[in-house]
Amino acid sequence: MHDHATQPTIAQRAFFALLYLSEGAPIGYIWWAMPTRLRAAGMPVEQVAALTSLLTLPWALKFLWAPAVDRLRNRRWGYRAWITLAQALMGLTLLPLALLPLSEITGIVTLLLISHAVAAATQDVSIDALAIATIPDDAYGRVTGWMQAGMLVGRATFGGLALTAEQWIGSQAVVLILIGCIWCTLAVVWLFPLDHIKANARPESDRTFAAALITVLSRRATWIGLAIALIAGAGFEAVGGLMGPFLHDRGLDKETVGLYFAFPVVLCMIVGSLIGGWAADRWGHKALVQSSILAIALAIAVLVAADLNTSGIALMAAAAPIYLALGSLTASSYALFMDLTDPAIGGTQFSAFMGATNLCEVWSIALAGAIVSKSDYPIAFGCAAAISLIALPLVPFARRAHTLPK
C-alpha cells in the first residue's frame, strides 16, 4: 500500500495526458478506424488482423533503438528534443495521405504507415522516459491513469469519430486535422516547466548507461516484468483488436461501430484508467494488476455467453465491462513497470516492457484472427483470455527496482 503517496499536481498530470493524446490520435486512426473500414470493404478478417499486427511491430521493437534516446542526451538535447523530432516526423509521414488521393499513392502507403509507426514509437519512448524521470515514484498510478485518459481521448477522436467525420469532410481532411493535432502539442512540450528531474535520470549522472543496463539485465524482476507484459493483456488485446470486425459480422454497420468506439468504449476505459490508477497507488500496483487480469477474463466470458443469445446494441453493452477492466489493467500495469524501471535508462527499460505489451498485441490479434478464420469469435476470445491468466502467479515476484541491489 501507498497510503502517503506524493500528490502529483494537476498541471503535471494534464501535461502528460496531453502528450499521450498526441500519441493516441494517430494510433486510433491506424489501429481502430482502418480495420473497421477495411472489414466493411470486404477484406477477410485474417488479413485485417495481419495488417494491424504489422503496423504494431514498431511499438513492439522500439527497445532496439530506445538506447539512443537515453544515451544521446546532454543539457541542450534532452527528452523534449527527442519528442519534438519524433512528432515532426510523425506529421511529415502522414502528409501525403492528407494531400493526395489514396489511389495515387497506393504503392507507398505501407512504407508511409510503417515510417510513421517508427517515429510514433520513438515519441512513445521519449515521453515515457520523461515521465519516469520527473514523476514521484509513489504517484505513478495516478499519473499513468491520466496519461491513459489522454491517450483514449485521442483514440476516440480519430479512431471512432473519424469514421463518421469522413462521410462529411472526407478522409484527407481527417488526416490533415490529425497532423495538426500532432504538431500543435509541440508548443506545450517546450512551454511546460520541468522543475524536478531525478538525480539518476540526468544526462550528467555519474552512473554510465552501460553500467545501468547491465544491472537491470541481471535482475530477475526485469525478466518477470517482460513475461507479464507479454502475456497479461492477451485477452483484451484479442478482443479489442477484433471488436470492430466482430460487431460488423454480427450485423452492425461501421458508423454505429465507430460511435461505439468513440463514446462508450472510451468512456469505460477512461473511468477504468482513472479509478485503477488511483486504486493502484493506494492498495498496491501488483494487487490491482492481478485483480484487473481476472476481471478481464470474467468480462470476456460474459461477452462470449451473450454472443449466444443477443446481438446488436445488447452485444455492445455486454462488451463494455471488458473496457472498464482494460483501463484498470493498463494504468496499474504501467505503474508496475515504472516501479521496475531504473530512471538512468528509463527510455530503454520501460520501452522494453512496453514493447512486450505491443508484442502481446501482435501475437494475440494474429492468433485470434487465425482461430476466427477456422472457427468463430467466441473460441478465439476464450483462448486468449485463458492464456492471459498465466501471468497471475508471476506478478508477486515483480519486485520494485529500489529494493534490489544497484
How many Cβ atoms sit within 10 Å of the Cβ of residue 381? Answer: 27
How many residues in total does the chain contain? 406
- Inter-residue contact 135 to 1 (CB < 8 Å): no
Classify residue 4: in a domain, yes or no: no
Residue 194 in this model has a pLDDT that exceeds 90: no
Looking at residue 382, which CATH number applies to its domain?
Answer: 1.20.1250.20
pLDDT at 317: 94
Tens of pLDDT, residue by residue over 328-355, are 999 999 999 999 988 877 778 888 898 8
Q: What percent of the chain has pLDDT over 90?
A: 40
Would residue 3 count as lying in a domain?
no
Residue-number span of the structural domain to which 383 is assigned = 10-403
**What would the grid cell of residue 67 be?**
538506447
Residue pointed to by grid coordinates 506545450 = 188
**For 379-397, what is the mean pLDDT?**
96
Q: Are 315 and 305 in contact (CB under 8 A)?
A: no
Query: Whole-number mean pLDDT of the chain?
Result: 84
Query: Considering the domain boundaries, does residue 51 fall inside one?
Result: yes
Q: Count CB-CB contacts under 10 A for residue 26.
A: 29
Highest mean pLDDT among 38-52, 175-189, 200-214, 376-390: 376-390
**Is residue 19 a contact partner of residue 150, using CB atoms and an 8 Å limit?**
yes
Q: How far apart are CA 307 and CA 155, in angstroms?
A: 26
Q: Rg for the chain (alpha carbons), in Å? A: 20
The mean pLDDT of 169-186, rounded to a whole number, is: 89
CA 208 to chain centre: 29
Task: Render pLDDT for 129-142 as a digit per residue (tens, 0 to 9).
Answer: 898 888 877 778 88
| Cβ pair 233, 388 in contact under 8 A | yes
- Which among 381, 390, 267, 282 has a CA at the least distance from the CA of 332? 282
Interatomic CA distance for residues 41 and 277, integer angstroms: 39
Burial of 74 (0-12, 13-18, 19+ CB in 10 A): exposed
Give the model's confidence band at 177: pLDDT under 50 very low, under 70 low, under 90 confident, else very high.
very high
For residue 372, pLDDT over 70 is answered with yes
Instruction: Tell me, yes or no, whether 160 lies in a domain.
Output: yes
Tens digits of residue pLDDT in 34-65 = 676 666 666 677 777 777 778 878 887 888 88
pLDDT recorded at residue 367? 94
Q: Rounded to whole angstroms, how far apart are CA atoms 388 and 246? A: 20
In this structure, is residue 114 part of a structural domain? Answer: yes
Rounded distance between C-alpha atoms, residue 406 and residue 220, angstroms: 13
CB atoms within 10 A of CB 31: 22
Give the whole-angstrom CA distance, residue 396 versus residue 394. Answer: 6
- The C-alpha atoms of residue 120 and residue 263 are separated, in whole angstroms, by 24
Q: What percentage of the chain reaches a pLDDT higher than 70?
A: 88
Domain count, the chain: 1
Least confident of 256-270, 292-306, 372-386: 256-270
Label residue 404 by pLDDT band (50, 70, 90).
very low
What are the tens digits of pLDDT across the range 157-168? 887 677 778 778
Query: Is the model more confident about 325 or about 253?
Result: 325
Mean pLDDT, residues 382-400: 94
Q: Quote the pLDDT of residue 212.
A: 66
- Determine, yes or no, domain membership for 1: no
Under DSSP, the state recorded for 402 is G
Mean per-residue pLDDT, 385-399: 95
